[in-house]
Amino acid sequence: MNTLNEHPGNSAPIFSLSNVSRGFGKGKEAHQVLSDVDLVLREGEIVGLLGRSGSGKSTLLRIIAGLIEPSAGDVRYRGEPLEGPAEGVAMVFQTFALFPWLTVLENVEAGLHALQVPRKEARQRALAAIDLIGLDGFENAYPRELSGGMRQRVGFARALVVNPTLLLMDEPFSALDVLTAETLRTDLLDLWSDKQLPIKSILIVTHNIEEAVLMCDRILVLSSNPGRVVAQIKVPFAHPRNRLEPRFRNMIDDIYALMTDRRSADASKGRAELKVGSQLPDVSTNLMAGLIEALAAEPYQGRAGMAVVAERLLLEVDDLFPVAEMLEHLGFAELKGADISLTEAGKLFADYGTQERKAQFADHLVRNVPLAARIRLILQERRGHRAPRVRFEQELEDSLSEVFVEQTLESVISWGRYAEIFSYDDHTETFSLEDVEGEG
């Protein structure tokens, strides 16, 4: 694995970003999404932005697209400061984002009309793009008549028809089924390798490590909260790449290790202890139990590589990491390198029946998640053993933004209910100790 600062060769930079930061919200609620990001995009390369949810990779893409302004730093497009959406930068969306009231042809033509391309020429170019991307015959169909894969092809045709210099792709294949995604990836790579595309460079955002290694010449790994570039990895393999080749698999494992190692992946804070005001991930107790059971079973016997588990459980990085980390916080598992292993407590949990599991989970929850402990303590202290949700919302708002307050409370409520350490009534929005065993 090569880690390097800049792409070799002397091709001209298309985009250059230096010290770009972006926060959302004001004052106390300010939430730093990107911090001090440097990035140079050059002609002739496919660059991947790889990171977990919350790493700000989509924000970075939107800054380059001119849809979001950075709060600090310098963004240059072909040497000039970027001001708003630039000509020659086209985008493909995860949700396809086609206008449902326009036909395939009209969707593709829309961008040309915006540029005041004469009608006849626009029609010719649109038809050519539709042809190139394998959509001929569907010109008059409406998006809702098409399958997901075909819709994304329209998304590609719409982006390519304006002859962009840079193609931005925001998780373009993640809403598609595995087989369709693979076909689209290969088709795009073929067009790129055959130099049939007008584009000079591609920037793709993904959380799929394998996809990044398959497609990109250079991968930037972003950390979470706030997003920073923690590594740049050059992928030296020639297209078409073979997924089964050992060095391909090795690179995937290396990247997993890089992303698992919290010291680099989580903004150099070391192993972060949870605090009362920490953000809690949206992870269900069923998922946690499922992962524990899978790890305890054959052939892993308590220890497995993250990449292997992800593949086995059909989980994407974005789904697997939060579960694994929450298990670590709760003391049921440990993450080391690219591996995850069960602790003694985790192995016990796997053997227990329902009631024993609940008791053990309750014990670990109160000991390791300070927010859960705090809710329980306050309920025990209060007369009547009740407390309104607002009380905890206000407390969390000191350290988290509104959206994260909601998500954190939802998570702790569902864990607390499972563990039976408190109960919650959604109609009255109050916590209480009613129906909780061992309490009066």
Cα–Cα distance list, 324 to 5, 207, 237, 346, 373 (Å):
31, 16, 31, 12, 21
Which is closer to other proteins, CB of 142 or CB of 192?
142
Beta bridge partners of 40: 16
Q: Which residues inside 137-156 make contact with other proteins, applying CB under 8 A?
A: 142-145, 151
Angle between helices 354-368 and 344-351 (to 10 degrees): 150
Which is closer to other proteins, CB of 119 or CB of 269?
119
* CA pair distance 174, 190, nearest whole angstrom: 20
Which residue do the tokens 């000509």 mark?
Answer: 87
Q: Which of the stretches 99-107, 267-275, 362-370, 380-388 binds other proteins when contact is defined by CB under 8 A?
A: 99-107
Is residue 282 involved in binding other proteins (CB under 8 A)?
no
Q: Report the residue from 51, 56, 111, 172 that binds other proteins according to the rule CB under 8 A.
A: 111
C-beta of 144: minimal distance to other proteins in Å?
A: 5
Is residue 116 involved in binding other proteins (CB under 8 A)?
yes
Which residue do the tokens 């959509």 mark?
Answer: 135
Q: Report the residue from 11, 19, 95, 196 that binds other proteins according to the rule CB under 8 A.
A: 95
Site string for other proteins, 398-427 (x = CB under 8 A): -----------------------------x
Q: Which residues inside 60-79 make contact with other proteins, applying CB under 8 A?
A: 62, 65-67
The C-alpha torsion from 192 through 198 and 202 to 206, rounded to 10°, is -70
Is residue 90 involved in binding other proteins (CB under 8 A)?
yes
End-to-end CA distance of the chain: 60
* CA pair distance 231, 350, nearest whole angstrom: 36
Pairing outcome for strands 201-206 and 166-170: parallel
CB neighbours of 47 closer than 8 A, spacing ≥ 6? 41, 201, 202, 203, 204, 216, 217, 218, 219, 220
C-beta of 49: minimal distance to other proteins in Å?
A: 17
Total site size for other proteins, rule CB under 8 A: 35
Q: Which of the stretches 33-41, 80-88, 219-227, 338-346 binds other proteins when contact is defined by CB under 8 A?
A: 80-88
Is residue 121 involved in binding other proteins (CB under 8 A)?
no
Chain positions contacting other proteins, by CB under 8 A: 62, 65-67, 83-85, 87, 89-91, 93-102, 110-111, 113-116, 142-145, 151, 158, 162, 427
